[in-house]
């Protein structure tokens, strides 16, 4: 029986809204911003600091400074708590929080490396959401109201996610073998939710038949 729904998504594909709608219909806990807040609490930083660094590798200049800082007997260069929250630590905390959520079950998890951390769980159902560039731009523009910013976000965020996944998990993003379904959200957000829940039902029915 599937007790965990994982939503992985392209930026601007509507993954957050779809996850919220699916969680509401399932009566499950939504873990999206809530994950960021819990990771930030453990790291003792503001959630905004955590959010800016999720699913991104460290900038090369910061990685270089970190190497020197860690190799020094004295902190000749001062790093505050926010700066010490590097990608390595963030990945470790993300795994901890995601695995704890999975143990509780009956939750919808958005991103945060969940498809990779939970890939061996039989009770997890993993979906990848994508959309046309035009649709993604339109959704992002609705929030930014700025053409240049919307284009930059659509073009850069997924590239950073791909680099993050390749760096930490040694696979290309999206890793198709991890997903039970890959859906184009251009068909509509509610239609996508319907497709996800239907696919989960089919998976549960098949599991029941296989066990019989």
Using pLDDT thresholds of 50, 70 and 90, give the confidence band for residue 91: confident
At residue 63, the pLDDT reads: 46
CATH number of 44's domain:
3.40.50.300
| Residue range of the domain that includes 183 | 4-211
pLDDT, mean of residues 64-87: 44
Residue 28, pLDDT score: 97
What percent of the chain clears pLDDT 70, i.e. is strictly above it?
82
* Average pLDDT score over residue span 50-65: 55
Confidence of residue 67 (pLDDT cuts 50, 70, 90): very low
Least confident of 21-25, 80-84, 127-131, 180-184: 80-84
Runs of H (alpha helix) within 8-119: 15-26, 33-43, 47-53, 60-70, 81-84, 87-104, 114-117
What is the arithmetic mean of pLDDT over 181-195? 97
Q: Radius of gyration (Cα) for the chain, nearest Å?
A: 18
Q: Which of 34-43, 73-82, 88-97, 183-192 has the lowest mean pLDDT?
A: 73-82
Candidates 136, 125, 139, 109; CA nearest to 196 is: 125
Q: What is the largest CA-CA distance in the chain?
A: 65
pLDDT band at 89 (very low <50, low <70, confident <90, very high): confident
- State how far the Cα of 91 lies from the Cα of 31, in Å rounded to an integer: 16
Rounded average pLDDT over 31-55? 79
- Please give the structure tokens belonging to residue 136: 């993604």
Supply the pTM of this predicted model: 0.82
Report the C-alpha dihedral over residues 61, 67, 71, 76, rounded to 10 degrees: 20
Number of independent structural domains in the chain: 1
Exposure string for 92-103, b = 16+ CB within 10 A, e = fewer: ebbbebbeebbe
Q: What is the pLDDT of residue 70?
A: 39
């Amino acid at each position: 029986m599937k007790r965990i729904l994982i939503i992985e998504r392209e930026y601007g594909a509507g993954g957050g809204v779809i996850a919220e709608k699916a969680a509401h219909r399932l009566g499950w806990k939504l873990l999206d911003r809530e994950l960021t807040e819990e990771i930030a609490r453990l790291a003792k930083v503001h959630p905004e600091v955590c959010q800016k660094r999720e699913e991104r590798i460290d900038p090369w200049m910061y990685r270089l400074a970190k190497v020197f800082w860690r190799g020094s007997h004295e902190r000749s260069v001062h790093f505050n708590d926010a700066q010490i929250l590097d990608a390595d630590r963030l990945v470790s905390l993300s795994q901890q929080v995601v695995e704890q959520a999975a143990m509780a079950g009956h939750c919808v998890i958005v991103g945060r490396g969940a498809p990779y951390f939970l890939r061996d769980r039989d009770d997890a159902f993993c979906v990848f959401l994508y959309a046309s560039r035009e649709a993604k731009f339109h959704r992002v523009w609705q929030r930014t109201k700025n053409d240049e910013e919307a284009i930059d976000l659509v073009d850069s965020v997924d590239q950073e996610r791909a680099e993050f996944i390749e760096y930490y998990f040694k696979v290309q993003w999206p890793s198709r073998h991890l997903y039970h379904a890959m859906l184009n959200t251009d068909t509509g957000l509610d239609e996508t939710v319907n497709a996800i829940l239907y696919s989960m039902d089919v998976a549960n029915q098949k599991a029941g038949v296989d066990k019989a």
